[in-house]
Structures are given as C-alpha cells and as structure tokens.
C-alpha cells in the first residue's frame, strides 16, 4: 500500500495495491504490520461501522471529546467527499481541514487520527461507507461542529442542497466547541 501525508501531516491518504484481471480484483484493505512499518503508528481497531447514504447526505462534523476515536474510512459503493478538521488547540494546523474524494472506484482510504472532527457528503445515491475506529462509540461524549461554520470555510464539493440530520444542524461553531489541547 502507498501511504501519503496530506496537507495536514497526521491525516494520511492510503492507496491499496490492487490486483485485478477479467475476473475482478483483490486488495488488502488493511494490514497492521505494513501500516505500522510505513507510519510508525500501532493501531488497535475495536469497532467497524457501515453507513449507507443517498446523494447529498452530509454527515458531520463529528468527534468524541472522551473515548477519542481515530477512524480509517473507505467507500465500498458510490463516492464521498471526506473531511478531517484539526481540532487540537496546540497543533500548528489547528482549525485547518483537508478533504478527499473516496470512492469504490479509487479504493482510497483516509486515516483520520484522534483529535480531529470528521464528516463526509455522499456524491452518489446508494453510497456505502465503512470505517474502523480505535475506540468505541460513546454517545455521551459525542460532539458536532457545525458543518458550514464560516470560520472553517469547507468546500464540501456537492451540488444541490445538502441533506443534514437535525443533530448535525444543531452543531456548534468551532470557536464555541469543546476542543482538544
């Protein structure tokens, strides 16, 4: 697998080595040893999540203030524009975001480390996202930053109106959010 640092070096874009022929394809979506050898990170994933979204469904920007989660995100059907926002106050990239199109076609993944808010918008109907987390879902510690916070200025890359849950519409601006040191 090829692992590339993004504009925020802790967020990593992962491109698997795909073996394909007329029958289809095969690839390792995660190999702990290869990931550790290439990044120096030793990860323990404890939960796998799967979501399905219609086109323009926007989910995020989510994080947990305790039981902090790192997320390894990939798409198995359709496509998303995936966003990671650095919400570590002591970080030189605090308040910055990166976004990448992840799709079933490109098979790329995004490593969103602990200390980041995460969100995505579905670019196609029937988009299915799988992501592994490094800690368990803890609703009492879940927080949401407003997806369209003008201080972040995220370009979500969708056409039309986003479909946003009531919970995500109630997200708060970054400057009012509970953050990491």
Average confidence (pLDDT) over 7-36: 95
Read off the pLDDT of residues 76-112 as tens digits, 9 standing for 90 and up. 999 999 999 999 999 999 999 999 999 999 999 999 9
Could you tell me what percent of the chain has a pLDDT over 70? 100
* Predicted local confidence at residue 159, as pLDDT: 86
Average confidence (pLDDT) over 5-21: 96
Catalytic residues: 62, 131
Domain 44-176 superfamily per CATH: Jelly Rolls (2.60.120.10)
Read off the pLDDT of residues 146-168 as tens digits, 9 standing for 90 and up. 999 999 999 999 888 999 999 99
DSSP assignment letter at 96: -
Alpha carbon of 51 to those of 67, 86, 107, 164: distances in Å? Answer: 21, 23, 16, 14
| Domain spans, the chain | 44-176
Query: What is the Cα–Cα distance from 69 to 63, expressed in whole angstroms?
Result: 7
């Amino acid at each position: 697998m090829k692992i590339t640092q993004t504009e925020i070096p802790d967020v990593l874009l992962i491109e698997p080595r795909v073996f394909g022929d007329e029958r289809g394809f095969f690839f390792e979506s995660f190999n702990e040893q290869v990931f550790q050898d290439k990044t120096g990170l030793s990860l323990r994933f404890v939960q796998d999540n799967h979501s399905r979204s219609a086109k323009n469904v926007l989910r995020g920007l989510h994080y947990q203030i305790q039981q902090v989660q790192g997320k390894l995100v990939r798409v198995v059907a359709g496509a998303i524009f995936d966003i990671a926002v650095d919400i570590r106050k002591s970080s030189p990239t605090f308040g910055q975001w990166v976004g990448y199109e992840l799709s079933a076609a490109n098979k790329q993944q995004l490593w969103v480390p602990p200390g980041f808010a995460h969100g995505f918008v579905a670019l196609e109907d029937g988009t299915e996202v799988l992501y592994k987390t490094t800690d368990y879902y803890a609703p009492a510690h879940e927080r949401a930053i407003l997806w369209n916070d003008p201080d972040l200025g995220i370009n979500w890359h969708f056409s039309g109106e986003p479909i946003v849950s009531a919970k995500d519409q109630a997200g708060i601006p970054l400057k009012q959010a509970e953050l990491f040191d």
